[in-house]
Amino acid sequence: MSEAKIIDGRKFAAEVRRGVAAEVAALKSAHALTPTLAIVLVGDDEASHIYVRAKGRQAEEAGMATLEHLLPRETPERDLLTLIQRLNADDTINGILIQLPLPAPIATPKVLAAVDPAKDVDGFHPINVGRLWSGAPGMVPCTPYGCMAMLKATLNGLAGLRALVIGRSNIVGKPMAALLLRENATVTIAHSKTRDLAERCREADVLVAAVGHARLVKGVWIKPGACVLDVGINRVSAPDKGKGKTRIVGDVDFEVARKVAGHITPVPGGVGPMTIACLMRNTVIAARRQRGLPDPAI
Ligand code: NDP
């Protein structure tokens, strides 16, 4: 069997970013509107700071404005809620992103529910979650949206395909399952209590792994010809690169899986780049909707 075709997330993301930049330019000239994203980060989690910098940089490269609120770890929940209320009421802010994870004892669901659903560019507000499951237009979470965009571009329709989503988080697994269902796939959601994960994988025409467990999904579990999207980001030691060195790998054993799958995303360079590009897209969508404009074709 021939090797899987690599789904190049960087290429897809570059295309989305080009579309976003063109939309932003058009909004500026035709409507004097500069889409503006407020990014709120609480605490000193290193990975979160890296993500926030990348998001800010990409927003600015697309011609948007950003406003970063970097708050100390000990910020009381009520102060965070007050800031969100202020951002909700500010007409110059189109999108609000609360970088997760929030440090304890802040109640994440309460904070996410405080964001105006119209500015909820991550799609985590319960109203947007409900809209996604009921098929109404809302804000769709960025990682699943990016996965679905790549799936649609790769496969000739998803109707009737067996799809397995491994992971049931509110951020990735559940919204991914909702999007697959919307495309008429037959969807199974696996999680830490699932028995016979290998068997479920062998049945899947489309497999989305969003666990956070390095190489959990063995190559021999993959159905020949399946389309595999690997969302996982796991840092593992890489002695071949030198003492103490590490590398990022996904949830799928890529080297074996690529010999079996029909299509597969690499890690890095697969789902990750699309996630940030789709955040930019959501910010433009939010800004347009707030002006009563239709969604762009990005
Ligand atoms: P969570 O930790 O919130 O969820 C992990 C899910 O995996 C849970 O539903 C858990 O089940 C399930 N799980 C854990 N162990 C197993 C197992 N042995 N077998 C089957 N299922 C299992 O993680 P996230 O959804 O936030 O993220 C998942 C991964 O994706 C992480 O590596 C994260 O870094 C990455 N990620 C990547 C993004 C990107 O842009 N590429 C964006 C967001 C996340 P249970 O519910 O039973 O506990």
Q: What is the pLDDT of residues 159-216, one digit of tens each?
A: 999 999 999 999 999 999 999 999 999 999 999 999 999 999 999 999 999 999 999 9
Which range of residues forms the domain containing residue 201? 141-271
Dihedral-angle region of residue 26 (phi above 0 means left; psi in -120 to 50 means alpha; beta otherwise): alpha
State the pLDDT confidence band at 260, using cuts at 50, 70 and 90: very high
Together in a domain, 150 and 233 = yes
Examine the domain organization and report whether 110 and 151 are in the same domain. Answer: no
pLDDT for 1 equals 63
CA of 197 to the centre of ligand 1 (A): 15
Q: Whose CA is nearest to atom 42 of ligand 1?
A: 143
Residue 5 placed within a domain: no
Residue 293 pLDDT greater than 90, yes or no: yes
Residue 93 has pLDDT above 80, yes or no: yes
pLDDT at 8: 98
Considering the domain architecture, whether residues 176 and 217 belong to the same structural domain is answered as yes
Residue 266 CA to ligand 1 center (angstroms) comes to 17
Give residue 58's pLDDT. Answer: 97
> Which of 97, 142, 171, 172 has most ligand 1 atoms within 8 Å of its beta carbon, as the pocket-test mutant?
172
155 and 266 both lie in a single domain: yes
- Asked if residue 35 is part of any domain, the answer here is yes
Contacts 24+ apart (CB under 8 A), 190-197: 190/164, 190/165, 190/166, 191/166, 191/167, 194/166, 197/166, 197/221
Q: Which two tokens stand for residue 62?
A: 């697309």
pLDDT over threshold 80, residue 295: yes
Q: How many CB atoms lie within 10 A of CB 18?
A: 13
DSSP assigned state of 118: G
- Answering whether pTM is above 0.85, one says yes
The pLDDT score that the predictor gives to residue 98 is: 98
Q: Please indicate, yes or no, if residue 282 is contained in any of the structural domains.
A: no
- The answer, yes or no, to whether residue 128 has pLDDT greater than 70, is yes
pLDDT tens, residue by residue, 10-42: 999 999 999 999 999 999 999 999 999 999 999
- The answer to whether the CB of 166 is under 6 A from ligand 1 is yes
247: part of which helix (H) or strand (E)? strand 246-249
For residues 119 and 125, the answer to whether their CB atoms sit within 8 Å is no
pLDDT at 252: 98
- Mean pLDDT, the chain, as a whole number? 97
Residue 2's pLDDT band (boundaries 50, 70, 90)?
Answer: confident
Helix, strand, or coil here: 124? coil
Contact between 41 and 298 under an 8 Å Cβ cutoff? The reply is no
Decide: 101 in ligand 1 pocket, CB within 6 A.
no
CATH number at residue 62: 3.40.50.10860
As for how many domains the chain has, the answer is 2
* For range 242-264, the mean pLDDT: 97
User: Is residue 291 a part of any domain in this protein?
Assistant: no
Question: What is the average pLDDT across 55-75?
Answer: 97
